Amino acid sequence: MSGTLLVLLGVWGALIPFVGPYFDYAYTPDNAWDYTTGRLLLQVLPGVGAVLGGLLVLGSANRAAAMFGCWLAALSGAWFVLGVPLSAIWGSPTVGEPIGSTTRQFVEYVGFFGGLGVAIVFLAAFALGRFAVVGVREAERAAQAVTPEVTQEERVTTAPAAAPEREGETGSHRFSWRRSRHASTR
Q: Domain total for the chain? A: 1
Determine the average pLDDT of the residues in 54-70.
Answer: 88
| Alpha-carbon dihedral sign for residues 66, 67, 73, 76 | negative
Residue 74 lies in a domain: yes
Mean pLDDT: which of 52-61, 97-106, 160-169 is highest?
Answer: 52-61
- Output the DSSP codes for 30-65: --TT---HHHIIIIIHHHHHHHHHHHHHHH-SSHHH
What average pLDDT does the segment 128-135 reach? 78
pLDDT of residue 65: 87
Mean pLDDT of 17-42: 84
- pLDDT category of residue 170 using cuts at 50, 70 and 90: low
What is the value of pTM for the model shown?
A: 0.69
Any idea which of 42-51, 105-114, 140-149 has the lowest mean pLDDT? 140-149
At residue 76 the predicted structure's pLDDT band, cuts being 50, 70 and 90, is: very high
22 inside domain: yes
Asked if the structure places residue 180 within a domain, the reply is: no
pLDDT band at 29; cut points 50, 70, 90 = confident
Q: Could you tell me the pLDDT band of residue 72, with boundaries at 50, 70 and 90?
A: very high
**For the residues 18-39, what does the mean pLDDT come to?**
84
Query: Under a CB-based contact definition with an 8 Å cutoff, are residues 108 and 23 in contact?
Result: no
pLDDT value of position 151: 59
Lowest mean pLDDT: which of 51-60, 71-80, 104-113?
104-113
In a domain, 27, yes or no: yes
pLDDT of 44 reads 92
Domain extent for 59: 2-134
How distant, in Å, are the alpha carbons of 31, 46, 179 from that of 127?
A: 36, 18, 50
Residue 150 within any structural domain of the chain: no
Evaluated on CA atoms 50, 51, 52, 57, the torsion sign reads positive
- Does residue 186 belong to any structural domain of this protein? no
Structure confidence by residue, pLDDT tens digits, 82-101:
988 888 888 777 887 788 78
Determine, yes or no, domain membership for 173: no
Answer whether residue 170 is part of any domain.
no
